[in-house]
A and B are shown apart, each in its own frame.
Chain A
């Protein structure tokens, strides 16, 4: 089974709708991240969480919110989706000990906002 899973894998929604993307991990990592990928821009950090009570904004957090329900779960919400939020979204995890330097990614969620 995959260590980092994301649901859904693909989603089409309409402008103004609320949508939630979910991420779960079985790696036992404390740190979780949400990224957005647009063509030609690499990955941009939306939000990150170093533990259940520690949530921080990334470089492009406007229009997004997150919830860290447990160590293993980190959800990303778009309260009112807009077309320019159409992108590929990745969840990632990393440890908090000697191996904090490497991130492990989920399979991604392709979101289309019409």
Chain B
């Protein structure tokens, strides 16, 4: 079974600085999707970014980008120019590509943004 690990329970970053959140996963499959979800204090789970494993190019969404290392099974999230509103729990998630497969979530990293 697939597993997702986030080794940093908590992280902090100064406002306007850059921070990288780590995620590793274990799978024997070659085709899958990876996600980062953000959960602010409002509890809403918000999709931040997604990556298709067959694409070598790293996904980017405005200030958010990933470093996808397929061979190393690593999928880190970089937040540039951190803002106070970025403070949240961040969850890394994995999903197999074949239809019918479900998501596997990591335990989360709590990010604090310091003014």
Which A residues lie within 8 Å of B100 (CB)? 50
Are the CB atoms of A40 and B102 closer together than 8 Å? no
**How many residues on chain B are close to A (CB under 8 Å)?**
24
Is B68 engaged at the interface, CB distance under 8 Å to the other chain?
no
How many angstroms between the C-alpha atoms of A48 and B102 in the bound complex? 9
**Smallest CB-CB separation from B45: which chain A residue?**
A105
Which A residues lie within 8 Å of B97 (CB)? 101
Known: A50-B100, A101-B50. A42 touches B105 (CB 8 A): yes
**Smallest CB-CB separation from B44: which chain A residue?**
A107
Which A residues lie within 8 Å of B105 (CB)? 42-44
Chain A interface bracket (under 10, 10 to 19, 20 to 34, 35 or more): 20 to 34
CB within 8 Å: A-B pair count: 47
How many angstroms between the C-alpha atoms of A33 and B100 in the bound complex? 12
How many angstroms between the C-alpha atoms of A96 and B99 in the bound complex? 8
Which A residues lie within 8 Å of B47 (CB)? 102-104
> Per-residue CB proximity of A77-114 to B under 8 Å, as 1/0?
00000000000101010001000111111011010000
B interface, CB within 8 angstroms of A: 4, 9, 33, 35, 37, 42-47, 50, 52, 91, 95, 97, 99-100, 102-103, 105-108
> Besides A42-B91, A42-B107, 15 other CB < 8 A contacts?
A33-B102, A40-B9, A41-B107, A43-B105, A88-B43, A96-B99, A100-B99, A101-B50, A103-B47, A103-B103, A104-B47, A105-B37, A105-B44, A107-B44, A108-B45
Give 6 nearest A-B pairs by CB, closest first: A105-B45, A42-B105, A108-B43, A43-B105, A101-B33, A42-B107
